[in-house]
Amino acid sequence: MITKKQLSFIDLFAGAGGLSEGFIQAGFTPVAHVEMNPYACQTLETRAAYHYLKSQGREALQSYYDYERGIITREQLFEQVPQEERESVINKEMSSKTAKSIYHKIDHLMEHKGINHVSVIIGGPPCQAYSLVGRAQTNHMLRPMEEDPRNELYKQYVNFLKRYEPEMFVFENVQGITSARNGEAFADLQRELNRIHYTFECHIQNAQTFGVMQNRKRMIIIGWRQGTEHFYPEFEQQEIHSVVWDLLSDLPQVERGGQAFEYASPYDESSAYVRAHNLRTEDDVLTLHKARIHNERDVEIYRRTINAWFINHAHQRLHYNELPDDLKTHHNQTSFVDRFKVIEADTNACHTVLAHLAKDGHYFIHPDINQCRSITVREAARLQTFPDNYYFEGNRSAQFTQIGNAVPPMMAYGIAQQIMQQLRGEQRIIAAGIINIEGNEEIPQNIYIGAAI
């Protein structure tokens, strides 16, 4: 019988580590994180330092908070962390050329950590190549979406499954993965997985199902080695008894272009939602709470956008073509008319947090009309359920990109819990139909577990 202590995972296309964070919180041990983006890798290294220092006790963890405060340097932080923790983050692009060197590093890490078997492989290739929005914009690209080399990255994922033979895997991606290249890519993925003796199911899951206050739908593919009794978990809907404002209420007001380093209220006065889900602890330091500078035209549009939603609880969206001419700067007034959007603070789920936050904040306006600005990095992280002690490296654009591309850790935790229960033999099998997709066949929505139908 596999014990909890022995359960380990490899995270491929790890990004900033949203999936990893959920699996670590559930009790899995990370072997390695593979990611090509240097800023995301720095974030993963910093998070590895946090988890190591936390394991050493509260006193050791103060060094991490000193780093967040800028009291010590990054080099000084890692002087207190074993080298293998940093080396577990592999900053390489996954390809046939790099695979051998990545395998070598992972094998070395497994030997050093005394891990002789990988329990789970998690992750998902970059979603842009499968995105429905991306395909709609392909005529604006220099290279057609069909020729995007990222379309083939799932094959690298399969190669890792073949080499390490985990009992289960979790593959996360956008809904469009099933229809990319007229369904050929997904059909090929299915054939490749069958060839290496893995069975899988795919279902659209909404992060809201897992208690995340965000309407965020993603395709979650879960597979297992043929011949085992594993199965696709049935995720129960988590009831949310809070509203989005509860995520933001203890964060201080900041002026446009300003920043804050202290919470607006003590830990005990933060919302029950924030405390229950450990999004903030008593020791946490407030970081990355700096607002963008906005011009007066955008500020006026923000005011109108906020009022349209909140006055008389109308919940109206402002359409760009309804603005006075002196506030319009875009010639295109027939598409993207909802380019200005306020966070739905009086509901229990806001719209999907996107990496587009890195380019502008118009789609993510703070709900407080007294602040009248786009959200900060820390507020975006809260919406994605990253705890306040999660520090994102790089410039602000890089931080927003990492957050927008991530799997919400709370969603990842819910998935990881179910996977762990199966691997430890603590969950009885629940019958679930296997979804087989050939070519461009559509998936009937009524078989999606956890989806908002």
Active site residues: 127
Supply angle C-alpha 314, 319, 324, rounded to 5: 110
Give residue for tokens 């379309």.
151
> Using an 8 Å Cβ cutoff, are 202 and 446 in contact?
no
Q: Tokens 């790089």, residue?
A: 394
- E-strand stretches of 163-269: 168-173, 198-206, 217-225
Burial of 166 (0-12, 13-18, 19+ CB in 10 A): buried
Whole-angstrom distance, CA of residue 369 vs CA of residue 305: 9
In whole angstroms, give the CA distance from residue 398 to residue 378: 13
Residue 397's alpha-carbon distances to 232, 376, 391, in angstroms, are: 36, 11, 14
Distance CA(220)–CA(179), nearest Å, equals 15
Helix axes 58-69, 38-55, angle to 10 degrees: 150
Q: To which H or E segment does residue 121 belong?
A: strand 120-123
The values of phi and psi at residue 374, to 5°, are -80, 165
Q: Which residues partner with 9 through β-bridges? A: 30, 120
Cα 37 from Cα 225, distance rounded (Å): 30
Ramachandran angles phi, psi of 348, nearest 5°: -100, 15
Nearest 10 degrees: Cα torsion 132, 134, 138, 140: 140
Provide the CA 49 distance to its chain's centre, in angstroms: 20
Q: Using CA atoms, how far apart are residues 316 and 330, in angstroms rounded to an integer?
A: 21
Could you please report the per-residue DSSP string of 343-361? --TTSS-BPPP-GGGGT-S
Q: Which two tokens stand for residue 192?
A: 């490749």
**DSSP letter for each residue of 324-338:** -GGG---S--SS-TT
